[in-house]
Amino acid sequence: MKKGVSIILSEKEVVYVVSDSVGETAEFVVKAVATQFNGGYVDIRRHSYAEDKEDIEEVIAMARQTNSIIAYTIVIPQLKKYLDQRASEEGIMAVDLLNPLMESFMKRFKKEPNHQPKLLRKLDDEYFRRVEAIEFAVKYDDGRDPRGVMRADIVLIGVSRTSKTPLSMYLAHQGFKVANVPLVPEVSPPEELFKIPRNKCVGLVITPDKLNEIRKERLKALGLRSEANYASFERILVELEYSEKIMKRVGCPVINVSNKAVEETANLIIDILKSERSR
């Protein structure tokens, strides 16, 4: 036997679960139904990744020997048609678990299905990729660990309050692993920053006026005096001049975030990186 077919010697009634993907959905439905018949009433035998007529014939032969039901989730039209035809010819009960709902979707929403197997698995993979990216962004936020610079898809650099963290999180939800590094005159940037390809890094700049405004509001929120050095024009100009030197040394593209929403800046970053990498 192949492709995930399991044979279990048992006196239970047998249901063959057939799918052009993993078959988890079909097995779950069959188990749910089986619980209505004193639970554990059936022996479920999964046949995953059915791709051609040979796979169907294999299941038909086994189901015929055990006088079983075939429950299936097949979205490839030709394969579904062949299974229905062969089951009818052999007098085997075959139940399509998707088609009734699929047809309801088509009638109500006036759309045609993709008829592509494994799409649910792709969605699951995307979900876990986003979760991994979010965890990465948290771990390598604010220059906490310079190793993240080498491992990231995108590295953001800039002075404090240039939206590095919100951008990192937003991009992480898009599936990008992002590290961000604050640029502070008194602290040398990690050497890793100068070892990565220039098209992997983006510098974030802002006008002095806007940064002064943002920092004053930040100090107020923290219950501190707005006249603190952190928000002074002199300090801001020093930081911006320093960050400009670092960005030139890195050779990375630069975005002015002064009057941009996080979403807008994130889209610009993605566009810039795509254009840089296509060269």
The binding site comprises 158-165
Which residues carry a binding-site annotation for ADP?
158-165
Task: Please state the three-class secondary structure of 217-233 as a single string.
Answer: HHHHHCCCCCCCHHHCH
Task: Please state the three-class secondary structure of 164-203 as a single string.
Answer: HHHHHHHHHHCCCCEEEEECECCECCCHHHHCCCHHHEEE
Measure the N-to-C terminal CA separation of the chain; round to a whole number of Å.
49
Distances in Å between the Cα of 74 and the Cα atoms of 12, 114, 241 are 25, 12, 61
Q: Are 252 and 205 in contact (CB under 8 A)?
A: no
Q: How far, in Å, CA of 145 to CA of 126, rounded? A: 26
Strand partners, 69: 15, 93
SS3 for 4? coil
Contacts (Cβ under 8 Å, ≥6 apart) of 151? 136, 140, 177, 179
Q: How far, in Å, CA of 124 to CA of 177, rounded? A: 18
